[in-house]
Structure 1
Amino acid sequence: MNVIWARSAAILISVAVASAGLYLWRGPVWALSLGCLALLGQLGYYLYQINRLWKVLDAPAYGEIPSALGLWGEVYYRLHRLVKRWRLQVLQVEQQHLRFIQAIQASPNGVLMLDDADQIEWCNDVAEHHLGLNARRDVRQRITHLIRRPEFVQYLMRQRFDDPLVMRDMGSHKHGVIAVQILPYGENRKLVLTQDITKLENTEAMRRDFVANVSHELKTPLTVLTGFLETVRDLPVSEEDRRRYVDLMLVQSMRMQHIVEDLLALAKLESDAQAPGYEPIPVNGMIAHLLHDAEALSQGRHRITSDVDAGVILRGSETELFSALANLVSNAVRYTPDGGQIGIRLAMDEGHAVFSVSDTGLGIAPEHIPRLTERFYRVDRSRSRDTGGTGLGLAIVKHVLSRHHADLRISSEVGRGSVFRVVFPLDRSGHEAQQVRGGDMPQRAA
C-alpha cells in the first residue's frame, strides 16, 4: 500500500473512531453529524487543493510548487521532485545541444541545414562566410533565393549529390574556391557542407605549373642537344664546327645537370622533417668562400665589397646556409650589369644576426617580389637563362631559411638595385662579446 492510500485510510479510520466515540457518548445524531461535517470539510479541502493544482498545471513555473499539509503536501512534494528531475533532464539536453552547436561552430567547414522546402533552418559562421549569408536575416528563406548561381541551383534540383560541387569566386572577398556537398537526411531535409579549397586549388595549380616549367626548362637543352647530335651524325662538319658543337652541347648538358641537382636539393630539403642542429658555424671561412665565389663569377666586371662583423655567431647547418647565402650572392652578380657594385654585409641588429646582399642592378618591380621564391619564377626569363640561372635558387633559399626559422626580406627599386636581407632568429644568432659576458652559449628558444 502506497502512502496516499495509507493516509486516506488513516483519515477515514480517524473519522470513524471519533464518530463511534461520539455515538457512545451522545447518541447517533451527534455521531452522524460529526461524520458528515468531517467528510464535507475533507471534500472542501480537496476541492481547494485541486483548484491550486489546476492553476499550477495551467501555467507551470519552475520553483512555484505550493505547499500543504497532509496528503496534499505529499502530492506537491512528489510533483516538485518530478519537475526538478524533468528540469535537470532539460538542462542536460540543452547543454548537449550547446556543446553540439559549439563543436559545429569550431569546425573549419561550413554546415547549413535545410528543411523539406529547401529553406534555411540554421547555419554556422563558416557557412555564412563561405556562402555570403546571414543566419539571423536569412533563416526560413529558400536557399536558391539567396544563392542564385546556376551551377548551384542545378546541383540542388538534380538531386544527385555523390560528388561535391566546386564554386569559384565565393566568400566574403569573392576570390575563394568553395566545395559544396549536400547530404539528405531525415524527412526530406538536407545538410549542406562547405569547405574552402582555395589553398588546395592553389597547390594543384602550383603543381601543374611546376610540371610544365620543368618540362619547358628541360625541353630547351634537350632540343639543342638533339639538333647538334643529328647534325654531327648526318652532316659532314669540320673539326672546328664539331668542337664548337660539342662545347655548346656541354653547356646545355651542364645546364640540365644543374637543374636536376637543384631539384634534388629541393626534394631533400622538403623531405627532411628533422630541424638542423645548433652547431656554431665558422662564419669567417664561409664569408671568405662566398666572396671568392662571387669574384670568380664576376671575373672583375663588378666592384664587390664586404662588411663583416667577425664576432657574429650563426648556428645551424653550414652546408644548407652556405647554399642559401651563395644563391643570394650569385643572383646579385648575375643580375647586376658590368661596372655595378655588390655589397655583402653580416652584422648584429637588436640581437639578431643579419646577412644582407645589396646590388646596383636592374631592380625588381613590386608585383614580382612576393613570387620570387616560387620554383622557376623569373622576372626576365631570357636574361636568367643567359646568366646560367635555373630558376630554383630562391626556392632553395626559402626552404633553407624556413628550416632555420629565418626571414628573407626583399627591398628593391627598378633601375636602382635590390637588397636581400636574411634575419636569423635569436636562438640561431649570437656574438662573441655576448658569450664572454654571459659565460655560456645562448640556449635554444622554446
Structure 2
Amino acid sequence: MNLFNIQLFQNPFFYLPFHSSGWVGWLAMLALVLLGGGRIWRISDFRRPVKWNVFLVALLLVPLAILLLELQLSILQSGAVPNLPLEVNRTGVLVFVAFPIFFAAGLAGLLPSLLTGLFTGLFLGLFATHDLFSIVEWGFLGLFIGIALSQSYRTAFYKMLRHPLGGAVIVWIAYLPIFLFVSFFAIPGNLAERLDFALAQNWPQYIVRGIELGFGGLFFELIYLFLPALWKKPQQLLPSPNETSLQSRFLLFTVPLAVLLFVILILADWWVAGQAARQMMESRLQGLTRVASQSLPYFLESGQSLIIDFAKPDLVQKSNSEVQLLLMEDIRAVPYFRQLVVFDKGGQPLNAYPAEGSMDLRLSPDEEVGIALALNGVIVQVYPIPPYPGEKSAQVAFIASIKDETGIIQGTILGRTDFESNPFTQPALSALEGVLENGGEGFILDEQGNILYQTSNATPLTAADQFLGNLQVGAGLYEDTSPTGTRLLVLAEQVTGRPWQVVARVPASVAQQIALNIAIPTLVILLILFGTGSALMFGIVRVVTRNLLKLTDQAVHISLGELDHAIESKGNDEIGRLAKAFETMRISLKKRLEELNQLLVVSQGVAANLEISEAIQPILKAALDEDCVSARVVLIQEVQLDLEGDQLVSWGVGKQPDLYHHLDGQIFEQMRSHHLLSIPNTSRVRRISAVGGQPHPAALIAFGLFFETTYYGALWLAYDKPKNFSEDEVRFLNTLASEAALAAANSRLYASAEIGRRRLEAVLTSVPEPVLVFDEKDRLLLLNPAAIHVPGLISAALPGRPLQDVVSSENLIRLISGSLEDRIASREIQLSNGKVFYASVAPVMGEDYQVGKVCVLRDITHYKELDALKSEIVATVSHDLRTPLTLLRGYSTMLNMIGELNEQQQIYVNKIVSTVEDMTHLVNNLLDLSRIESGIPLKLEEVDPMIVVEKIIRQYQPHASQKNIQLTFEGPQDGRRLMIKADLALLQQALINLVDNAIKYTRNDGQVMVRVRPGNERLTFEVHDNGIGIAPLDLPRLFEKFYRSGRREAYEKRGSGLGLAIVKSIAERHHGRVWVDSQLGKGSIFYMELPVDQPLTITEEAVRNGGVANLKK
C-alpha cells in the first residue's frame, strides 16, 4: 500500500497509439465523448456561479485523489501489456480516483461530471498509466456517472440509479464495452495479441476499475443518505422512457441483456479458442522437446563409449607421428569428435588432432578438473564447455584415462565435440528447429542453466540468468514474460539420465494467432447472429409499436369524429384483439352517426320534395340494412294525384324490392289500428297470412304512418331469415316512420293543388294517335285516350305505375326502357291483335338532364299489308318465271346439238345462258326470301356448327383456289365441341352467302377466314376477308333487299342484292342478329350471332321483332 505516490510526478509522458487503428479508435471514442458533451451543453445550467465553484473544487481534487492511497492487491495482478516494459504496468487500486467525478456529478450536474472525468483521465494518463486512451476512458466514466446521478426519471430502477452506490454498479456494468475497446486499441501488437489482451488478460484492470468506482459510490452514498441537502436532486420527476414508449421499455431491457450476452459469448468463444490453441501449442512443443530429450542420452552414451575405446596405451607409448596417425584414424572412423587431445601423467598435452592450435590449447576449468580426476582413476567424464568464438553451440568435452596393460594410468585423452557438427545430436537439433518453425526458440541447458545450444542468435549463450530459478520442468506449458514485456509460452523437458533440460518457448502471439484463426469463424457467426437478431428484434418491436401507434392514431381519429379510417386487425394476439375492439367501437360509433346523418338526409328530403315518390326514397334507403331483403312503403292513393279510386301506392328498395309486394294490402289493413308490428319469426307468429304460390318473409317489422289523426299507410321491412329487432333498431325505424308520415301528408296537400297538369291531359286527349308520357323512372305520367283504346297496347293505364305494369308489348317495353342518349329511337311494334305500329320514343329534357320520355305510335298496318301484297306478287311472278326460264336455258343449250355455230352465234348463246342463270339465281333468292318472311316454322335440330362450317369450306375451297385465296377455318380456342339448335338448311344458306360474298369481293392472293366463337348462351359466326371493303355510306343500307353499293368495284361483281337480306332474315328468324365491321380498302368482318337454344314456337311477331340488324361502325 502506498499512502502518497509522489514518485508519479517524476516521469510525465504519454504513449501515443501504436498503430493507425489505435488512432482511429481513439479519435472515434473522443468524438463520441465530445458529441455527448455538446448535447449536454445545450441543456446544461452550468452558468450558475455555485456550479462553477463546485467544478473548480472537483478539478483541484483530481491530483490529490490520484496521489493518495494506492492499494497493491496481488490477486489482481493482470497480464503484462504486450511489447511494453514491465514497469509501465500498474495494478494498484487508486482508492480516491473516482471521488472528484462523483463530487462534481452529485453537486454540480452532468457537464461538470464529464469535464472532471476528462481531466482525471488526462492526469492519470500523463503521470500514471502513460496511456492516451485514459482520457476517453475516464471521459466516458464521467459521462455515465453524470447521466446516472443527474437523470430525473421516476420508477424504482431510475431511483436506484440516482443513488451513488447503485449508479456506480450500473455504470461499471455499462462501462464494459468501453473497457474492451480501450484494451483492444491501446496496446501495441498484432490483431491476435490485442484481442487476447482485451478479452482474456486485462480483466483484473476491469475489477480494479469496479473497486475504484465502488469506493467512490460508497462514500458518496453515505453523504446522499446523511447529508441530503448537499446533494443535487431533481425538482420534478418525469415519466421514464419505459413508461412513455413500449419500444423503449422493450429495448431498455433487451438491448443491455443482448449486449451482455453477446460479450459473454465472445469471451467464452475466445477462451475456448485460446484453450484449444494452448493445447495445440503444448502438444507440438511437448512432442519436439520429448524427441530432443530422448535423443541426447544416446549422444552422451555414444561419446563416453567412443572416448573409452580411443584411450589406448599406444597413444602415450608411440611416437608423435604414429599417435597423430592413430588419432586421425579414430576421428575419421567415427565422425563424432571435432578434436582429440592426449595428455601425459602430468596433465601436459602430448599430442592432438587436428594439430592446429594444439600447442596453445586452452582448457576450461571443468576440463582441468576432469583431467586431474581422470589421472586419479575416474574412468570417463563429460563436461560442457564454452563454444568456439562465433558459434551458437557450446562444446562437450569427454575425458577418459589411458591405462597400460597392467592397469596403471599413463595419461588421459580429451575429446571435444559440439551439437551442430555431431551426427548423434541431429535428431535433437531437428526437433528444436521445429520449435523455430513454430515461431519460437529451442534451448539445451546444462545443470547450471547454461545454454548449450539454441536455435537462434536472439538470446546470447551467456544469458543463463533468465532461466535460473524460473524453469518449471515437467509442469507442462506455462507462461513467462520477457524483460521487454513479451509474453512467452515455455515448456521444459528433463533429459533422461542427465541433469540437462530441453527448453522450448514461443511468443504468446503465436498461440494467440492460432486462437484467432479458430475463433474468427465463430466470432463472425456471432456478429452475424447478433446483427440479424438485433435487426429482427428491432423489426418486431417496430411492428408492435407501429400497430400500437396506429391504434393510438385511430383513437385520436375517433375522438375527432373521423370514423372512416378502418383498422386492420391481423392475427388473434393481444394487439389483434385490441384492434378488433377498436374497430367494433368505431363501427358502432359510425353506425350511430350514420343514423343521425340518415335522419338528417331524410328530413331534408321530406322538406325539399312534395312528390311522394321522391320524398319516400331516402326513407326507404335509410330503413334498409344488410339483412333486409325488401324495404317497402304502402300509402293511400290520395298522396299521388295520378291515381284514382281506392288503389294503394307502394314503393320498395332492397335486394328484391318487389318480392313481397303482394303483402302490401294485408300490412296496410293491419296497421290501421297499430303503430308497431314486430314479427321476429313468421313461422311462429302468423299475424300475416301467406298468399298461395307467393314467397313469404321469415321476419318483418311494420310501422303505421299516422300524422295527427289521419292514417296514410305503413312502412315495413321484410327479411328472408328470422331476426330479433333491438331497441335501437326499433327506435330508429320509428323515427323514419314519423318522417314518412310527414312526407305523405305533404304530398297529399301537394296533389290536391296539382291542377295544371289537367290542361296537358286535355291536349293529349285530342291527339288521335296513341301518346304515352313516362318519368325518368319509367313510371307512367300521362297517356291519351287513343292509347287506351288501342287493343292489346295498355294493360294498366294508371299514372305512377311502372312501365312493365302499363304496357303489354314486351318489344315496346324494351324500346321505351332503353337508353336514348339524346336521340329518338324508332321501331315497328306488332301487337297481339295483329296491328302494326311505328313507335318513336323521344327524351324529355330539363335544363341539362332527362326528366322523362314520350312515346308516340303510328298505325302502319295498312302499309304492312301493301308490302306483304307486293311480296306475294313478287313470289308469284318469280314462281311463274321459273318454267320459261328453264325452257329458255334448255333450248339455248340444245342449239349446239343441231349444228355447228359460228363464233358470233356461240357468243350470243353464251350470253343468253348467262343471263338465264342470273335470272334463275334472282328468282331463287326471291323465293327463298319469300319463304323465310312468310313465317313458315323452322325445322329445328341439334347442329354441330363446326361440321357445317367445315362442309362449306370444303365446298368453296376449289372456288377460292381459282383466285389463289387462302380459305381457312378457326374453331373455339379451348377445342370443345358446341351444339346449336337451328334450321340446318337456313344456317347453311346464310353461311354460304357470307362466304360467297367474301370470296367474290376479295382480290386474288387474298385471305378469307371463318371463325366460330362461343359466348354467353350465344354463338357468333365471323367471316373475315381482306377484300375491297365497304364504304361508310353503304353500311346503313347494306342488308336491305336489292341494295347494291354504287362503287365501281362492287358493280363489276355480278349479284342481285338479296344475299345479305336473306342472311339478315335467317338471323332474325333464329332470334339472332347480323352486323358488319368494315374499312374501305382493308376488308370486312361479317358477324352472325345466334342463340344456342330456340323457343319451341316462333310467332310472326317474333320474326319481325326478335332480332334487329345492328351496324357497328
Structure with more relative contact order (C-alpha pairs < 8 Å, separation 6 or more):
1
TM-score of the superposed pair, with normalisation by structure 1: 0.46
Going by fraction, where is helix more abundant, 1 or 2? 1
